C-alpha cells in the first residue's frame, strides 16, 4: 500500500487508482464499480440528510402540496444504486434487499464481469428517530458463461468476494471498503463533495470492549447462546464484562465495534431459526471487511464466508467482530445442546 502521512489529503478516487496500479493485471473494472458506489453514496447522503425536513419543505413545495407522494428513502436508495451502476458496463447483474429477484442489466447497456449484491438502506426504520443507517455492498466475479448474469453468479460463497464494504450515514458519512488488501475508511467532506481517506488500514482489536445484541430475544435462545452471552457479560466470572451497546442499525453497531473492538451478534432463536440478517448483502460483505481488519465472523458452526448460498434472500445467524471474542462464540456454540 502507498503510505500516506496523517496530513496527506487523499481522495477516494486517488486511493482507488493507487491501489489499482499495484496490480498490473487489473482491468480497471473493479475500480469503476467502486467509483460508482461512492457516487451513489453521495446522492443517498444528500437525501438522508434532508429526511427530517421533508414534511416542512413539502408544505412549501407546490408539487408536494398537489399530492406528489414522497418516496420512501429505502426505495430511493435502491433506485439510486441501480441507476448509478447499471450503465457502466462493469456489472452483469445486481441483487438488492429491496427486490425479490435478480436485477438484470437493461438490454441497451453492455455487461461486465462482476455482480453486485447490496442492501440499499439498512436499518431504515431508524430514519424517523435520527439514528444512523447504512448501505452494505458485495462484489463478486461472474462465473457463468453467458453475457448476462444469472442467479448462480450471485449465489457464491463470501470467500469469493473481490470487494465489499459499507457506507454509514452518521454524524458524518463514511465509506469503508476492502478489496482484499486491508480495510480503508473515507469520510465525506460535504463542503467539497469528496470522500477523503480518514481511516487507512483499519485493524479491529483482538478482544473487544463492546457487545451488541438484542437480548429481548433471550427467552427464545438455546442454552449455548444464553451461556455465551453470560460469558460476554462477565456473569460466569471468566472474563471482564463487555459493555452492551445496541443501536439496532447493523452498520452503526458493526462500525463502532470494528473501530473499538467487540462482537455484534444476531443469534438464531426458536422463532427465527436463521436469525434475521441476510447472507449475501449483510453478513458476507461485513465478514469480508472484518476478516481483512483481523477479525472474524461465524454463524456459530461455520465461517460466514464458507457458507454456500442457495437463495438470494437467505438468512443466517451472525456473530462478527474481534477474533478472540468470536473464537469464544465458536467454542460455546459447538457444544452439544443438552
Residue numbers of the site for ligand AHM (CB under 6 A)? 97, 122-124, 214, 248-250, 276
Stated as kind and residue range, the H or E segment containing 82 is helix 73-85
Contact 309, 156 (CB under 8 A): yes
Contact 212, 25 (CB under 8 A): no
Q: Give the nearest residue (CB) to Mg ion.
A: 122
Contact 140, 160 (CB under 8 A): yes
298 Cβ partners below 8 Å, 6+ apart?
304, 319, 320, 326, 329, 330, 333
Between 123 and 149, name the residue whose CB sits nearer to ligand AHM.
123
Q: Is the dihedral of CA 257, 32, 41, 100 positive or negative?
A: negative
- CA 193 to CA 195: how far, in whole Å? 7
- CA 321 to CA 255: how far, in whole Å? 10
Minimum separation from the CB atom of position 252 to ligand AHM (A)? 8
Between 16 and 77, name the residue whose CB sits nearer to ligand AHM.
77
> Distance from first CA to last CA of the chain, Å, rounded?
50
Between 64 and 214, name the residue whose CB sits nearer to ligand AHM.
214
Between 122 and 325, name the residue whose CB sits nearer to Mg ion.
122
- CA 37 to CA 211: how far, in whole Å? 30
Q: Which does 124 bind (CB under 5 to 8 A by kind): ligand AHM, Mg ion, none?
A: ligand AHM
Minimum separation from the CB atom of position 172 to ligand AHM (A)? 19
Site size with Mg ion, rule: CB under 5 A = 2
Q: Which does 214 bind (CB under 5 to 8 A by kind): Mg ion, ligand AHM, none?
A: ligand AHM
Q: Are strands 194-199 and 183-189 parallel, antiparallel or unpaired?
A: antiparallel
| Interaction between residue 74 and Mg ion (CB under 5 A) | no
Between 96 and 322, name the residue whose CB sits nearer to ligand AHM.
96
Nearest alpha-carbon partner for 92 in 159, 17, 145, 18: 145
Minimum separation from the CB atom of position 74 to Mg ion (A)? 9
Minimum separation from the CB atom of position 97 to Mg ion (A)? 5
Q: According to CB under 5 A, which residues from 91 to 150 bind Mg ion?
A: 119, 122
Minimum separation from the CB atom of position 232 to ligand AHM (A)? 16
Minimum separation from the CB atom of position 291 to ligand AHM (A)? 19
Q: Which does 193 bind (CB under 5 to 8 A by kind): ligand AHM, Mg ion, none?
A: none
Between 203 and 276, name the residue whose CB sits nearer to ligand AHM.
276
Q: Is the dihedral of CA 210, 212, 213, 216 positive or negative?
A: positive
Question: For binding to Mg ion (CB under 5 A), which residues are involved?
Answer: 119, 122
Amino acid at each position: 500500500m502507498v503510505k500516506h502521512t496523517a496530513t496527506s489529503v487523499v481522495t477516494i478516487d486517488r486511493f482507488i487508482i493507487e491501489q489499482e496500479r499495484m496490480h498490473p493485471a487489473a482491468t480497471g473494472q473493479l475500480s469503476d464499480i467502486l467509483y460508482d458506489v461512492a457516487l451513489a453514496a453521495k446522492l443517498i447522503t444528500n437525501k438522508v440528510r434532508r429526511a427530517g425536513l421533508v414534511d416542512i419543505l413539502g408544505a412549501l413545495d407546490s408539487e408536494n402540496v398537489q399530492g406528489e407522494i414522497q418516496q420512501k428513502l429505502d426505495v430511493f436508495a435502491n433506485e439510486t444504486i441501480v441507476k448509478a451502476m447499471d450503465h457502466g458496463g462493469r456489472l452483469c447483474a445486481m441483487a438488492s434487499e429491496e427486490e425479490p429477484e435478480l436485477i438484470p442489466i437493461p438490454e441497451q447497456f453492455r455487461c461486465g464481469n462482476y455482480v453486485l449484491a447490496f442492501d440499499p438502506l439498512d436499518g431504515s426504520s431508524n430514519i424517523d428517530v435520527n439514528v444512523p443507517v447504512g448501505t452494505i455492498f458485495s462484489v463478486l466475479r461472474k462465473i457463468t458463461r453467458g453475457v448476462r448474469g444469472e442467479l448462480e453468479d450471485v449465489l457464491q460463497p463470501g470467500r469469493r468476494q473481490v470487494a465489499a464494504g459499507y457506507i454509514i450515514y452518521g454524524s458524518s458519512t463514511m465509506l469503508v471498503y476492502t478489496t482484499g488488501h486491508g480495510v480503508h475508511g473515507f469520510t465525506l467532506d460535504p463542503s467539497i463533495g469528496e470522500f477523503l481517506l480518514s481511516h487507512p488500514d483499519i485493524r479491529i482489536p483482538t478482544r473487544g470492549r463492546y457487545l451488541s445484541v438484542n437480548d429481548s430475544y433471550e427467552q427464545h435462545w438455546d442454552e449455548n447462546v444464553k451461556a455465551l452471552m453470560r460469558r460476554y457479560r462477565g456473569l460466569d466470572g471468566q472474563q471482564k464484562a463487555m459493555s452492551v451497546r445496541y443501536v439496532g442499525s447493523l452498520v452503526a453497531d458493526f462500525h463502532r465495534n470494528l473501530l473499538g473492538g467487540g462482537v455484534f451478534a444476531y443469534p438464531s432463536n426458536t422463532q427465527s431459526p436463521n436469525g434475521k440478517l441476510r447472507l449475501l448483502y449483510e453478513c458476507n460483505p461485513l465478514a469480508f471487511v472484518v476478516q481483512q481488519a483481523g477479525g472474524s465472523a461465524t454463524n456459530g458452526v461455520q465461517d460466514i464466508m464458507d457458507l454456500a448460498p442457495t437463495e438470494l434472500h437467505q438468512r443466517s445467524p451472525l456473530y462478527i467482530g474481534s477474533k478472540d471474542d468470536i473464537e469464544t462464540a465458536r467454542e460455546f456454540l459447538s457444544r452439544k445442546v443438552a
